Amino acid sequence: MKKIAYIALFAAALFVSSCKDFLKEEPFLTQSNALALIDYNALDKAVAGAYSPLADGTWYGANYVLTSEMRADNATIPTNTSFQSGRYQPPFYMTYSADATVGLWGYGYYVISAVNNVLEAIEENGMDQYTKGDVTEQDVKNLQAECYFLRALSMFDMARIYAYSPAKAAAVNFSDCIPIILKTDKTAKEQPARNSVSEVYARIIEDLTTAESLMAADYTRAGITDKKAAATLPAIQALLSRVYLYNQNWQGAADYATKVINNSAFKLWTAKEYPSVWSAATGGSEVIFEVYGNKSNDYDEYWEGPSHMTNPIGYADCAASKALTDLFEPGDVRGSKGVRGADDGAVMFCTDKDEASGGELWTMKYYGKGLGDATSTPDVNNVIVLRLSEMYLNRAEALVNGASVSGATALGDLNTIRANRGVAPLNAAGAAAVALERRLELNFEGHYWFDLARTASGAVTYSDPRRPANLDATSKFWALPIPKREYDVNENLSHNPGF
C-alpha cells in the first residue's frame, strides 16, 4: 500500500510541474504573430511581404489606375461591342454607390496593419532585439523607413479616393477623410471614426519626413528582382513632393522635387527610348518607384491586369479617348500612333491588328513584358507610381504658384521634358501649360483624375455622348463612397455627401 502512495505522490508531483505549459500548443507550420516579428530576418520578411498587396487588382494591379483614367475621360469603353467585356462600367457611367465603389479600402488598411505590426514590434522589443550579429541599427532604421513610406502611400491613395482633396474639402465644406490607424487593432473590435483631411495629410507628411530621416541614402532592399519596386530615399522624397503638391505647399513640393531631380541616379528617357521603356522587366532610368508585375506574385490579377485590359485582343475595355489622343502635337512621341503587333515598342497608342474596331486606340504603356500572349495567358506589366518627369512637372507647377528654387523655372522644366519627347520648346509656361503637359506626359498612369480633384476648380467635361453629365468642381464623385461592408461593421463612419 505504501508503494501506491509513493506512486501517487510521484505522479502528483510530475503532474503539477508539467501542467503549466500543457495547454500551450502553438502552430508550427505557420508563424504566429509573435514569431513572425521576432528577429531582424523575420522583420525583413514582414516588410517585404507588406509590399505584396500593392499589386492587388483594386490598387496598382489595375483598377486604381485604370478607373481613374476612365473617370477623368482619358480612357473610354470602345464603341464597337466586340471590344468590350462588360468591365469598367461604373467609372464610365459614373454609377458609383457604396455597393459598387473602388475596393482599395481593405488592401490599403491591410498594408497599414502589416507595417504597423513591424513598427510596434520594434518599439515594444527595443532596437537591441534586432541588432544582433552583423545587423546594425541603420539596417533596422531602413526597415522602419520602408514601413513609414508604405503607410504614407497607403493613406495617401485611400485619402485621394474616399475623401475630398484639401482644396475641394474647403470648397464643399466636408473634410472627413479616412481613419488614421497607427496601431493594429488586434481584437478587430474597434470602430474608428474618420479623421479630417488636414489631420490625414499632416500624418502622411510626418510619416514621410520620418522615413526620410531614418533611411540611409544608398539603401535598396536586398534580394528583390526589381530594385525600383521598394522604398528608397528618392522614392520617399518623390512621394513627399507629390503630397506637398496635393496639399498646395508649393515650396515643399518644389524643394523635394529638386532633391530627386538633382539625384544623378535618375535620367529622363529620350524621345527615342520613350516608346520602348514600358515593357521593361524592371524599372528604367526614369522610374523612382513602381509596382512589380509577375504571375509569380501572390497578388496577380491575371486576366484582370492592366495589360489584358488595354489590349485589343484582351478584354480591351480600357481604350484611350479621342479627347486624349487628339491633344498631342505632331511629332510628340507621347502621342505617336500605330497598329498593335506591327508597331509594338515604337508608338504610344495602337489600334487593333485588324483595324476592326473603327479606329479605336489603346495605350501602349501596359503592352506587357512578353510573358503572355493574351490568348492562353495574359501578359504582365510593372505599374509606375513615381518617375522623374513627374518631379519636373511638380516643380514647374510649384514654381508657377510662387515657389522658388534657384536656377529653376517652370518654363525650363517643361522644356526639359519636351526636349526629350520630340516637341518644340514652349515660349511661356503658365498654369494651363503645366497642367496640359502633365496630362500629356502622365496619361494612363493614374494622375489626371487626381490632378483635377486636387484643385478647387477641377471639373470634367465628358467627350463621349454615351457618358453621363459632366462633373462640376463640387461634384460628389470627387470623394467616392467607402464600401458598404465597412458601414455594416463600423457605426462611427460618416458618409460622403451624396452617397
Partner 1 sequence: MKKAKLLFSALFVLLGVTLFAQNVQVSGVVRESAGDVVTGAAVQLKGSTTVYAMTDALGNYRISVPSDGTLVVSCLGFKTAEIPVNGRAVINVDLEPDSEMLEETIVVAYGTVRREANTGAVSSLKNDGLAEAPVASVDKLLAGKMAGVQVTGNSGQPGAATQIRIRGISSINAGNDPLWVIDGIPVETGDQSYFTNTSNAMSAINPNDIESITVLKDAAAASIYGSRAANGVVLVTTKSGRSGKANFNARVKFGASMLANDNHFRVMTGEELLNWQRTAYANAGANPDEKAPMSLLDNGTHDWLKDFTRMGALQEYEINASAGTDRGRFYSSLAYQKNDGITYGTDFQKFTARVNSDYRLTNTIEIGTRVNLAYTMSNDTPMQSLYYNNPFFAGLTLLPWLPLYDEDGEFNLKLPSNSNTNPRYTAKYDDQWEKQYRVHGTAYLQWEPVRNLIFKTNNSVETTFGEGRRYWAPDPGDSEGTLQTSTTQYVTLTTSNTVTYNFALSNHNFNVLAGQEAMRRNYLYYYMYGNVDANIPYPSTMVSEQDQVGYSGNARTLLSFFGQFDYNYDNRYYLKASLREDGSSLFGSENQWGLFWAVAGSWNITNENFMRGTSGWLNLLKLRASYGVNGNNSIAPYRAYGVYATSAYNGVNGTLPSTPDNASLSWEKNYTWNVGLDAGFFDNRLNVQIDAYSRKTTDMLLNKQVPQTSGFSSNFMNIGSLSNKGFEIQINGDIIRNADWTWNAGFNLSYNKSKLLDLGDTDEMTYSDSRIKHKVGKQFYTFYLKDYYGVNPSNGEALWRHHEFDEDGNITSTTLTNSYNDASYIYAGSPEPKFTGGFNTNLSWKGLSLSAFFEFKTGNKVLIVENRYVNSDGQQMSMNQTARSLNYWQKPGDTGVFPKPVANNATNSNTFASTRWMQDGSFLRIKDITLSYNLPTNFVKQIGLNAVKVYASALNIYTFHDVDWWDPERGVDGMGTGVYPMTKSIVGGIEVSF
Please list every residue from 264 through 293 that binds partner 1, using CB under 8 A: 292
**Beta carbon of residue 187, minimum distance to partner 1 (angstroms, whole number):** 7
DSSP class of residue 101 equals: S
Q: Which stretch binds partner 1 (CB under 8 A): 297-305, 400-408, 420-428, 433-441?
A: 297-305
Q: By CB under 8 A, name the one of 12, 100, 265, 431 that touches partner 1.
A: 12
The partner residues of 363 in beta bridges, in order of sequence, read 349
CB atoms under 10 Å from CB of 93, counted, come to 13
By the rule CB under 8 A, 40 interacts with partner 1: no
The answer to the question of residue 31 lying near partner 1 (CB under 8 A) is yes
Q: Which of 62, 72, 112, 143 binds partner 1 (CB under 8 A)?
A: 112
d(CA 135, CA 491) in angstroms, rounded, equals 45
Residues near 306 by Cβ (< 8 Å), separated by ≥ 6?
61, 62, 65, 66, 318, 366, 381, 383
Does the footprint of partner 1 cover residue 226 (CB under 8 A)?
A: yes
495 lies in the binding site for partner 1 (CB under 8 A): no
**Shortest separation between residue 200's beta carbon and partner 1, angstroms:** 13
Nearest to 142 by CA among 223, 220, 235: 220
- In the list 86, 133, 223, 402, the residue contacting partner 1 (rule: CB under 8 A) is 223
DSSP character string of 425-443? PPS---HHHHHHHHHHHHT
In the chain, what is the straight-line distance between the N-terminal and C-terminal CA atoms, in Å? 81
Tell me: does residue 184 bind partner 1 (CB under 8 A).
Answer: yes
Minimum separation from the CB atom of position 281 to partner 1 (A): 11
Contacting residue, 81, 262, 264, 296, with partner 1 by CB under 8 A: 296
Q: Give CA–CA dist 127/40, Å, rounded.
A: 10
Query: Closest CB to partner 1 among 282 and 409?
Result: 282
29 or 469: CB nearest partner 1: 29
| Candidate list 39, 49, 89, 285; residue touching partner 1; CB under 8 A | 49
Task: Report phi then psi at 450, rounded to 5.
Answer: -75, -30
Q: Please, which residue, 51 or 174, has the CB nearer to partner 1?
A: 51
Closer residue to partner 1 in complex, CB, 206/488: 488
Burial of 406 (0-12, 13-18, 19+ CB in 10 A): exposed
Q: Which residue from 186, 183, 236, 185 is spatially nearest to 209, judged by alpha carbons?
A: 236
Stretch that binds partner 1, among 1-9, 87-95, 372-380, 385-393 (CB under 8 A): 1-9
Question: How far apart, in whole angstroms, are the C-alpha atoms of residue 397 and residue 433?
Answer: 9
* Closer to partner 1 by Cβ: residue 132 or 189: 189
29 binds partner 1 (CB under 8 A): yes
Among 32, 82, 138, 404, which residue sits at the site for partner 1 (rule: CB under 8 A)? 32
Cα(245)–Cα(241) distance, integer angstroms:
6
Nearest to 266 by CA among 157, 391, 175: 391
**132 contacts partner 1 (rule: CB under 8 A):** no
- By rule CB under 8 A, what count of residues binds partner 1? 71
402 touching partner 1, by CB under 8 A = no
Question: In this chain, which stretch among 67-75, 218-226, 330-338, 403-411 interacts with partner 1, using CB under 8 A?
Answer: 218-226
3-class DSSP assignment, residue 498: coil
In angstroms, what is the minimal distance from the CB of 61 to partner 1? 11
Give 27 or 402: the residue with its C-beta nearer to partner 1.
27
Q: Is 301 in the site for partner 1 (CB under 8 A)?
A: no
Q: CA 363, CA 325: separation in Å to the nearest integer?
A: 9
Residue 164 carries which side chain, given as an amino acid letter?
Y
Of the two residues 19 and 469, which places its CB atom closer to partner 1 in the complex? 19
Return the closest-CA partner of residue 304 out of 63, 100, 52. Answer: 63
* Beta-carbon count within 10 A of 141 CB: 18
Looking at 122, 150, 172, 181, which residue binds partner 1 (CB under 8 A)?
181
